[in-house]
Amino acid sequence: MQLDRPTLIEAYRRMRLIRDFEDNVQAQFEQGRIPGFVHLYAGQEASAVGVCLHLSDEDYIGSTHRGHGHCIAKGCDVTGMMKEIFGREGGLCRGKGGSMHIADLDKGMLGANAIVGGNPPLVVGAALTLKTKGLPHVAVSFTGDGGSNQGTTFEAMNLAVVLGLPAIFVFENNGYGEGTGVDYAVGADSIAGRAAGFGMPATTVDGRDFFAVFEAAREAIERARTGGGPSAIEVTCMRQHGHFIGDAQAYRSKEELERVRADDPLRLFRERVTSEGRLEPADLDAVDRECAEAIAAAIDAAEAAPVPAEDELLTDVYVSY
């Protein structure tokens, strides 16, 4: 499928926004301005964007504890996200969720999820709503290779097949569950093969290649929208950073870390679209500038935002609290 110029620019814009967001969050965290734990998505941008570019606000996604990229790809406001990560008023979850729990239901973003394997059953539920109401939308679960080992994920895949739901299981295989390698921790030849065992179409794509992810997602999403039921996509990708900010990554070799930098999906995208004459370097440079400004403004806004009032501690436990 040949993508038009505005779509290519939008794809690059979202990937660049994720990268800038993550690079800046890392710097802010290291300066002690962000509380808690932060898990960066940098290096996996082509996966979130390649999938979410097909989705509207009426489609749902469920995410992982490495959720910033999925939020941005799904259209969440980066300033609201930054305020949330800083623990400030005006954050997307009013400072009660933080990095690992950002949600924006108006955007169909059902939440980052700090429990590995937590989201697949929830996404199946969202797909159940869509099918029950006869709506032509889909629900996508982003899960890691670690989450692919959880029983909840297996149960969710089976239930989605049994009920014929418009659910798509995207497995972002970045090679590590925390610090433990996939070759050790996943007892199967491939995660896609594992998903296929539940009775759904499943494919593996190179997550460095935005176009490969985009095309696989297009097929799966179209199938789900037209009543063809669930499917799975294993996206092989590379996590540029450690499991969390501050992780020294001693479990990865120097050679591997060099390869991670060389296989940068943003650089590969830029090289491809410019060499094929589909976009000019100046087009991409303009996106770079726009994204850098947006993230800088988000950080300024987060720093300037007040902390939540203390009585917020007791609000919103129940609807009528």
Q: Answer yes or no whether residue 94 interacts with another protein by CB under 8 A.
A: yes
Q: Answer yes or no whether residue 301 interacts with another protein by CB under 8 A.
A: no
Nearer to another protein by Cβ, of 95 and 177: the residue is 95
The interface region with another protein, picked from 10-18, 106-114, 170-178, 281-289 by CB under 8 A, is 106-114
DSSP strands (E only) in the chain? 60-62, 139-144, 167-173, 176-177, 180-181, 202-206, 231-236
Among 103, 216, 224, 298, which residue sits at the site for another protein (rule: CB under 8 A)? 103
Among 33, 54, 96, 225, which residue sits at the site for another protein (rule: CB under 8 A)? 96
Q: Answer yes or no whether residue 186 interacts with another protein by CB under 8 A.
A: no
- Residue 124 beta carbon to another protein: minimum distance, rounded to whole angstroms: 5
Q: Answer yes or no whether residue 32 interacts with another protein by CB under 8 A.
A: no
Between strands 180-181 and 176-177, the pairing is antiparallel
Contacts to another protein from residues 48-87, by CB under 8 A = 60, 62
Q: Confirm if 113 and 65 have CB atoms less than 8 A apart.
A: yes
Nearer to another protein by Cβ, of 7 and 56: the residue is 56
In degrees and rounded to multiples of 5, residue 180 shows phi and psi of: -105, 130
- Residue 55 beta carbon to another protein: minimum distance, rounded to whole angstroms: 14
C-alpha 36/C-alpha 72 separation (Å) is 20
Tell me the β-bridge partners of 173: 236
Q: Answer yes or no whether residue 229 interacts with another protein by CB under 8 A.
A: no
- Residues contacting another protein: total by CB under 8 A: 48
Nearer to another protein by Cβ, of 3 and 163: the residue is 163
The neighbour count for residue 267, using CB atoms within 10 Å, is: 12
Contacts to another protein from residues 122-151, by CB under 8 A = 122-133, 139, 151
C-alpha 167/C-alpha 231 separation (Å) is 7
The token pair that represents 163 in the structure block: 């009920």
The interface region with another protein, picked from 44-52, 111-119, 168-176, 190-198 by CB under 8 A, is 111-119
Q: Answer yes or no whether residue 92 interacts with another protein by CB under 8 A.
A: yes
Buried b (16+ CB within 10 A) or exposed e, 87-113: bbebbbbbbebbbbbbbbeebbbbbbb
Q: Confirm if 141 and 169 have CB atoms less than 8 A apart.
A: yes
C-alpha 85/C-alpha 25 separation (Å) is 9
Residues forming contacts to another protein in the complex (CB under 8 A) are 60, 62, 91-97, 101, 103, 105-106, 110-111, 113-115, 118, 120-133, 139, 151-152, 155-156, 158-159, 162-163, 315-320
